[in-house]
Structure 1
Amino acid sequence: MKDILIIGGGAAGFFTAINCAQQHSNLKIAILEKSKNVLSKVKVSGGGRCNVTHAEFDPNELAKNYPRGHKELRGPFHQFATGDMMAWLADENVPLKIEEDGRIFPESDSSQSIIDAFLEACKKFNIEIKTQCGVEDVQLTDDHLWRVTTKNDAFLAKYLVFASGSSLKVWQLLKNKKYTIIDPVPSLFTFNIKHSLLQNLAGISWETSVEVIDEQQKLSKKQIQSLQSNGPMLITHWGLSGPCILKLSAWGARSFHQLNYQFQLKLNWLPKLTEDEVMAQMLQQKNTHPKQQLAANPLFGFPKRLWQSFVNQSSISAETKWADISKKEMQILQNLLTQSVFDVNGKSTFKEEFVTAGGVDLKQINFKEFSSKLHPNLYFAGEVLNIDAVTGGFNFQNAWTGGFVIAKSIASKENE
């Protein structure tokens, strides 16, 4: 007999277990993990460095980074957010650092620092960790206890927490218990594009704005309005990536799935300038440096290779001087700089990350406690819920916040 059983030995499961023990030290807690290893996603996240959270300290602003869950997380983030997690890890002797882009990592640059802190805390609080213990079924007994059945064992507990991530088996189990599961689709992915403009430019990063073109009107107006993004974009060997694209992929996860990842993308390489301002700068260059070759002298601060590709795509000879460029050629170049159109044909997973949009319907959750509205003493934390975020440590922050709020709720009930 346990006080708390937690299904899932990942970030959300461990943080929930440890916080439950910290807030009420007499509780008997066990974590059930289906695989041989715990915290496997923590280990590989952030390229093995573990991007634990993001330096956004305003709860309302923090919530804006969640395409699914932004409304629901506002309240919980006022209870436990970025600063709280940083303080928690400081107490566990894990010093952190904030990088220029706002991502927060252990000073060690190793995810093992986080794993060791979690395992040490579990040892300190006698939290039992059971691996190769996949859950087959859960039942609420007549005594209002949770009976959890695995292949070889059965457990009883007063409180049950699902922190099982995007496990299809667990989602099916929950469907059988009358929970609505939003079918999972990929989020956080890069775009596959084959276009001569991008050839041999892999590794170039540039600040852009992008939007999806829906000429066939396959999407609703509301969907199209959300399919816009801006920020640094990275040209890759297979197409486009970088924060701008990843953010767009997260907000448009369901729309892109609906389009079977086949659509057109319009890209503005100079989002801070109007079309007239772009043309004005080119005319000024033509007037002041008529003898300069276009291709050899990039405008707008573009990297030379990228600028030469623009010139080439505009069918302007590499030897052409500014004095000799025609009005039509300038117009073609201006259009290319402000509204390049690419055909997207498929997606690729971003690095080692695989995030899904989908999970337990948020309408069935009481977010003051992360508890079920259908069953007593049942909780959900992390990616088992239909919550996902843009890249940068936000998905982990959802796990930390959920774990803390659940622990607070259970401790409150135990102290009544």
Structure 2
Amino acid sequence: MRSRIVVIGGGAAGFFGAITCAEANPTAEVILLEKTSKLLAKVLVSGGGRCNVTHNCFLPGPLAQHYPRGAKHLKEAFKAFGARETVTWFEQRGVKLKTEADGRMFPVTDSSQTIADCLLQQARKAGVTIKTGVGVTAITTDTTTAQFILRLSNGSEIKADKVLVCTGGNPKTTGYDWLRELGHPIQEPVPSLFTFNVPGNPLKDLMGISVPQAKVRIAGQKLEYEGPLLITHWGYSGPAVLKLSAWGARIFHDQNYSFTALINWIPTYTEESLREQLQHYRQVHPKKVVSSNPLFNLPQRLWKALATIAEIPVDIIWAELPAKNTNKLVEALLRMAVDVKGKTTFKEEFVTCGGIDLAQVNMKTMESRLHPGLYFAGEVLDIDGITGGFNFQSAWTTGYLAGTAMASHL
């Protein structure tokens, strides 16, 4: 009798786990079950259809620092299979990756279909049996044979010697009930990677304008993040906001997504150096109109809007600018306050923090500490990264570790 491995979930982690296991132990029967009719759905839509495979960060320690949840556990895991191994894995299978200026890595084809095709081809080549439209509603154990019994959505059952759960994150806590029945504690799911809604946004007419470097800080919290910032018709987006939303996911959820954000448009300046620079400009260009001559490489429309917030008359020159307006301009540049009321999912990003508590998982093998032979990989775990290819990297890593362990423990 061949040993049977069943992988639940046809996403990145599921495919990687199934392929790794089948390649490492060709005698095993590996079956992959996907409850929907679509395989690798998230791979296909991610990165605007280009698939942000991983990030150009090849040291395990620095790579792990990009995960608001799971960093400590992933550091060791990345030593076994990190971003460098991911690049090598795909290149050895005919898919070359390229690095963009911000460190994100994509296939040179700029098409996520390339990644999906590679995974499908490797799965078939390794002998993985793929079944779509088949979900799993419960997992129990056959006390006689010590095998797992999987109850399927079509009413039938299938037995397995080992099971890998890769069902992804679920925004609803009830989505984890079938795993709770196994005794696995669940960290409650809350959204991560979202943009800020600001109904009374003073800059709403500037939608589409971005700055390459801004710092967003949350009033009353130690939370802050620096990076590109985009003004939208509903509020603010861009990496600075998205990454901040990941680090503050649970805090923002507890605050019902109602808080004050402070935007620093020129984070390279301190208040002292900013005042010195403004004073110097005033001395050199006393007759220039304040609102129509932007400083600090800020877009003209943004500078004009910040001048308006500082209550600076449209025709006043630097020589005649009152101190109180200078003070208000300093505030607008370094600490522009906006009241956030709600969130919006960012494009195709739909990351949820929460899931299987990592304390009950052996992170070297991804095996359950409660049920030997049961494994987890991907977003079903309480692991999530900031935007930039990090969530796929944790899927490849945990899928690889689980696949390797299952193959060697048969």
- Where on the TM-score scale, by shorter chain, does this alignment land: which range? over 0.9
Show the counterpart of 2:113. 112
> Aligned partners of 1:340, 1:296: CA distance in 2, in Å?
20
Q: Tell me the amino acid that sits aligned with residue 3 of structure 1.
A: R
The size of the alignment, in residue pairs, is: 404
3-state secondary structure, aligned to 1:200: helix
The reply on whether 1:165 has 2:171 as its aligned counterpart is no
Task: Kindly indicate whether the alpha-carbon contact (under 8 Å) linking 1:53 and 1:394 is maintained by their aligned counterparts in 2.
Answer: yes
Q: Pick which of 132-141 and 391-400 moved more.
A: 132-141
Shift of 1:170: 5.4
Change (3 A) 1:190 1:231: same
Show the counterpart of 1:367. 363
Shift of 1:11: 0.7
**Mapping for residues 50-61 of structure 1, pairs under 5 Å:** 50-61=51-62
3-state secondary structure, aligned to 1:316: coil
The reply on whether 1:68 has 2:69 as its aligned counterpart is yes
> Aligned partners of 2:331, 2:403: CA distance in 1, in Å?
56
Shift of 1:154: 1.5
Task: Kindly indicate whether the alpha-carbon contact (under 8 Å) linking 1:2 and 1:30 is maintained by their aligned counterparts in 2.
Answer: no
**Mapping for residues 239-254 of structure 1, pairs under 5 Å:** 239-254=235-250
Shift of 1:195: 4.0
> Aligned partners of 1:183, 1:347: CA distance in 2, in Å?
19
> Aligned partners of 2:201, 2:291: CA distance in 1, in Å?
17
3-state secondary structure, aligned to 1:387: coil
Q: Tell me the amino acid that sits aligned with residue 203 of structure 2.
A: L
Shift of 1:295: 1.4
> Aligned partners of 2:178, 2:326: CA distance in 1, in Å?
61
> Aligned partners of 1:183, 1:86: CA distance in 2, in Å?
33
The reply on whether 1:175 has 2:175 as its aligned counterpart is no
3-state secondary structure, aligned to 2:205: coil
Which of residues 349, 352, 359 in structure 2 aligns to 1:356? 352
> Aligned partners of 1:170, 1:195: CA distance in 2, in Å?
35
Change (3 A) 1:192 1:170: closer
> Aligned partners of 2:225, 2:175: CA distance in 1, in Å?
34
Show the counterpart of 1:376. 372
> Aligned partners of 1:114, 1:164: CA distance in 2, in Å?
19
The reply on whether 1:147 has 2:132 as its aligned counterpart is no
Change (3 A) 1:2 1:155: farther
Q: Tell me the amino acid that sits aligned with residue 37 of structure 2.
A: K
> Aligned partners of 1:322, 1:236: CA distance in 2, in Å?
31
Runs of 4+ in 1 over 3 A off after TM superposition: 167-170, 194-197
Task: Kindly indicate whether the alpha-carbon contact (under 8 Å) linking 2:25 and 2:408 is maintained by their aligned counterparts in 1.
Answer: no
Show the counterpart of 1:220. none
> Aligned partners of 2:284, 2:118: CA distance in 1, in Å?
63
Shift of 1:411: 2.7
> Aligned partners of 1:155, 1:181: CA distance in 2, in Å?
25
The reply on whether 1:212 has 2:213 as its aligned counterpart is no
Change (3 A) 1:289 1:352: same
3-state secondary structure, aligned to 1:297: coil
Q: Tell me the amino acid that sits aligned with residue 49 of structure 1.
A: R
> Aligned partners of 1:411, 1:6: CA distance in 2, in Å?
13
Show the counterpart of 1:4. 5
> Aligned partners of 1:96, 1:332: CA distance in 2, in Å?
48
The reply on whether 1:100 has 2:101 as its aligned counterpart is yes
Q: Pick which of 401-410 and 191-200 moved more.
A: 191-200
TM-score normalised according to structure 1 size: 0.95
The reply on whether 1:39 has 2:35 as its aligned counterpart is no
Task: Kindly indicate whether the alpha-carbon contact (under 8 Å) linking 2:136 and 2:151 is maintained by their aligned counterparts in 1.
Answer: yes
Show the counterpart of 1:29. 30
> Aligned partners of 1:124, 1:411: CA distance in 2, in Å?
17
3-state secondary structure, aligned to 1:194: coil
> Aligned partners of 2:182, 2:403: CA distance in 1, in Å?
24
3-state secondary structure, aligned to 1:16: helix
Q: Tell me the amino acid that sits aligned with residue 171 of structure 1.
A: Y
Root-mean-square deviation (CA, aligned residues, Å) is 1.3
**Mapping for residues 293-308 of structure 1, pairs under 5 Å:** 293-308=289-304
> Aligned partners of 2:175, 2:146: CA distance in 1, in Å?
21
Show the counterpart of 1:134. 135
> Aligned partners of 1:325, 1:349: CA distance in 2, in Å?
42
3-state secondary structure, aligned to 1:164: coil
> Aligned partners of 2:115, 2:155: CA distance in 1, in Å?
31
Shift of 1:335: 1.4
3-state secondary structure, aligned to 1:245: helix
Shift of 1:410: 2.0
> Aligned partners of 1:228, 1:182: CA distance in 2, in Å?
24
Show the counterpart of 2:260. 264
Shift of 1:321: 0.7
Task: Kindly indicate whether the alpha-carbon contact (under 8 Å) linking 1:76 and 1:367 is maintained by their aligned counterparts in 2.
Answer: yes
Unaligned runs of 5+ in 2: none
Shift of 1:196: 5.3
Task: Kindly indicate whether the alpha-carbon contact (under 8 Å) linking 1:2 and 1:155 is maintained by their aligned counterparts in 2.
Answer: no
Shift of 1:139: 1.2
The reply on whether 1:203 has 2:208 as its aligned counterpart is yes
Q: Tell me the amino acid that sits aligned with residue 191 of structure 1.
A: F
Task: Kindly indicate whether the alpha-carbon contact (under 8 Å) linking 1:164 and 1:170 is maintained by their aligned counterparts in 2.
Answer: no
Q: Pick which of 72-81 and 281-290 moved more.
A: 281-290
Which of residues 299, 307, 319 in structure 1 aligns to 2:315? 319
3-state secondary structure, aligned to 2:67: coil
Q: Percent identity?
A: 45
Change (3 A) 1:372 1:401: same
> Aligned partners of 1:172, 1:361: CA distance in 2, in Å?
14
Show the counterpart of 1:221. none
TM-score normalised according to structure 2 size: 0.96
Task: Kindly indicate whether the alpha-carbon contact (under 8 Å) linking 2:187 and 2:382 is maintained by their aligned counterparts in 1.
Answer: yes
> Aligned partners of 2:87, 2:406: CA distance in 1, in Å?
23
> Aligned partners of 2:74, 2:35: CA distance in 1, in Å?
28
Change (3 A) 1:4 1:196: closer
Shift of 1:166: 2.1
